[in-house]
Amino acid sequence: MKKNLNLNYGIKTLFALGLVSLLSSCAKQTKSKEEMSFDELKEKTFVCIERKNHEGAIELLEQIIAQHADRQDIGKYKMLLAETYFKDGRHAPAHEMYEHFNQFYPSDKFAEYAKYKSILSKFYQTLRSDCDQTPTEEALKLCRDYTDTVIYQKYRRDVEDIKKTCVQKLIDKEVYVYDFYLHQKQYDAARKRIDYLKSNYLPNHPSIEPRLLYLECKLAKHQKQNNIVVKNLETLASKYPDSQFTSMGQALVAKNTFSF
């Protein structure tokens, strides 16, 4: 009986030692990404991409770029990293990587595409009109950079649409600030927002004139400047009879309606 116990104990001990040895051996065979060769990193990257493991692919691509920056084909891995950032919804680093690619590889066949995706990445970071519009201003500048580059044509229509949307968001922001000042009875500050819109947007965007006339009507009504209200309403009726702002201006006179 004692021999059997000793034998069982010995077998269990050997099994435990063997298991520890096996696990230790497996651990030694598993490399960190810092220890992997370029080919190993590349292989694992494409496995992650195939499995839609964006986080894993991003970590490996970042390692490839950091560890093998001198490779002649490193540009395509930068583009792949930008694309993976974008797919993963990481628009800030995606923008930076697309913009980097466009600036460092201006003659590459994907340079225009990189600029376009840089614009999209920045545009997707813009916020509603009552929030900081710095990303909108940056997106608008990128759009202008694109449209000012004559050889860029493939995505021009989309970029023009994005540019128009950015301009509209910036106008909406100014109107939001104007409306805030109006309700706070800070009439001089409200007037400055109208003047800013006139000088900075009206020359290139004449379609906002009826909106500005309506904003002036609202301000004049608050300040009891009826002559300005009447004058602007007449201008709206004659120049923009079908505009929503003409109807809204007329409603100011009919009743105390100040929403827009």
- Look at the chain and count its residues: 260
pLDDT 10s digit of each residue in the chain, 260 long? 544 445 455 445 444 444 444 344 434 457 888 889 999 999 999 999 999 999 999 999 999 999 999 999 999 999 999 999 999 999 999 999 999 999 999 999 999 999 999 999 999 999 888 889 999 999 999 999 999 999 999 999 999 999 999 999 999 999 999 999 999 999 999 999 999 999 999 999 999 999 999 999 999 999 999 999 999 999 999 999 999 999 999 998 886 544 44
Domain boundaries, the chain: 37-120, 206-260
Q: List the CATH code of the domain at 37-120.
A: 1.25.40.10
pTM score, whole prediction: 0.81
pLDDT, residue 254, reads 81
pLDDT, residue 144, reads 97
The whole-angstrom separation of Cα 61 and Cα 111 is 20
∠ CA 13-17-21, nearest 5°, is 170
The whole-angstrom separation of Cα 151 and Cα 179 is 42
Q: By CB neighbour count within 10 A (0-12 exposed, 13-18 middle, 19+ buried), where does 67 fall?
A: middle
